Amino acid sequence: MKILLLPLFRFPTGHTKAAETIADAITRIAPQATIEMVDLLSYTNPVLEKGVGSFYIKWIQSSPKTYQFMYGKLVNRKSTKENNDELPVISKVFQKKMKQLVTKHAPDIIICTHAFPSSILGLVKQQGYFTNIPVINVYTDFFMNDVWAKKTSEYHFVPHQEAKDKLVRTYHHDANHVFVTGIPVHSGITHTPATPTKPMVLLAGGNIGFLAIEDLIALTQRMPSTTFTVLCGNNKKLFSKITQAHNPQLIAKGYITSRAEMNTLYDNTSAIVTKSGGVTMAEVMRKRIPIFIDHFLPGPEEENFHYLNALGIVRKLNEQSLFELADETISTQMQTRIAAYEQQIDHTLEQALTAVFQQLALLNV
């Protein structure tokens, strides 16, 4: 069995993490499978991938309002009409490269963890190419934006029952081709609730949002029995500031690549302050950790926040609501809402992949 996995970008994102998670799951259920993971941007032009990634990050940082406006206009218009036909003329270049890529690898199945390669495949399929190669869309946020090729992709791994209902009702997909898996989480993040022996708040995302180092120190004084672990990522300035504070309640950690280490950290976390990236939310929800959002980027993170906040799974954190980090009643309520959300998940990732491979008679290929 030959599988082509299509995330977007080569630098770490939720989409690439989801692709790695899927590859890991396939290796365990079908060790004979050949898996190729390809970023369409890099395949088209390595310089293009770096340029697009850099532009994307700078645009969000320098002008979040214009990014939010364009995202709503072009990517997530909350309509039932896919905008494949409205992609720029340059999409023809990507269509050509997609045809070359699929022809080169000749996969038995294609799995997309990002809307862009899915949309390009959709356009190519509409032209009559590769109609015999099934495509799985694996959604890595808590909503399905308009770029995903929902009509032409044969299988869908969705975050919740609401998404499945929409694909069946609006796009007329066979319910047996739509699996409520939740957002994929790597098996290295175990499906066991966190059991901290003492209060520990995890601050994630490479920064500490609205909290300056002085505010963090003041917070340790207000919560003397709580340890605050800050995931600094590649932010060396933040790492240095926290280390130089010489406060035993403040622990700085650099970029963590080990899932085992991250899993252990989650297991000892009583609450997390973070951004609302889809994969991060799914990991933390798996551990039943109360989630507080201090900030989010416009676009997917904002959409994720509004969806989860409406369900009572996350709460917005600001200077006035810091006390909620130590409120056991609020934490219990959030954990209950997370458990209720996860009850609708009807397949693990491995079960969904196995079901698709069995339907396509690919397990022994």
CATH number at residue 320: 3.40.50.2000
Same domain, 77 and 152: yes
Same domain, 147 and 205: no
Same domain, 278 and 315: yes
What's the Cα-to-Cα distance from 54 to each of 9, 163, 173, 299, rounded to whole Å? 11, 31, 37, 17
- Tell me if 215 is assigned to some domain: yes
Same domain, 10 and 159: yes
> Residue 158 pairs with which residues in a beta bridge?
180
Cβ proximity of 141 and 300 under 8 Å: yes
What's the Cα-to-Cα distance from 291 to each of 104, 197, 324, rounded to whole Å? 44, 18, 11
Confidence of residue 208 (pLDDT cuts 50, 70, 90): low
What's the Cα-to-Cα distance from 331 to each of 225, 238, 249, rounded to whole Å? 17, 28, 21
CATH of residue 81: 3.40.50
102 vs 107: CA distance, rounded Å: 7
- Domain count of the fold of the chain: 2
Q: At what angle do helices 278-286 and 300-310 cross, to 10 degrees?
A: 40
Confidence of residue 69 (pLDDT cuts 50, 70, 90): very low
Express each pLDDT in 85-136 by its tens digit.
444 556 888 899 999 999 999 999 999 999 999 999 999 999 999 999 999 9
Domain boundaries, position 36: 2-182+345-359
Percent of the chain exceeding pLDDT 90 equals 70
Give the pLDDT score at 60: 47
Confidence of residue 82 (pLDDT cuts 50, 70, 90): low
Same domain, 16 and 143: yes
Express each pLDDT in 231-282 by its tens digit.
998 888 889 999 999 999 999 999 898 999 999 999 999 999 999 999 999 9
Q: Tell me if the pTM is above 0.85.
A: yes
Task: Tell me the average pLDDT across 292-296.
Answer: 90
Helix (H) or strand (E) holding 143: none
Q: What count of residues does the chain have? A: 365
Of 65, 48, 67, 47, the C-alpha closest to 57 is 67
Confidence of residue 320 (pLDDT cuts 50, 70, 90): confident
145 vs 74: CA distance, rounded Å: 9
What's the Cα-to-Cα distance from 245 to each of 63, 205, 349, rounded to whole Å? 33, 20, 43
Residue 316, C-beta contacts closer than 8 angstroms, at least 6 positions apart? 292, 293, 294, 305, 309
Same domain, 106 and 55: yes
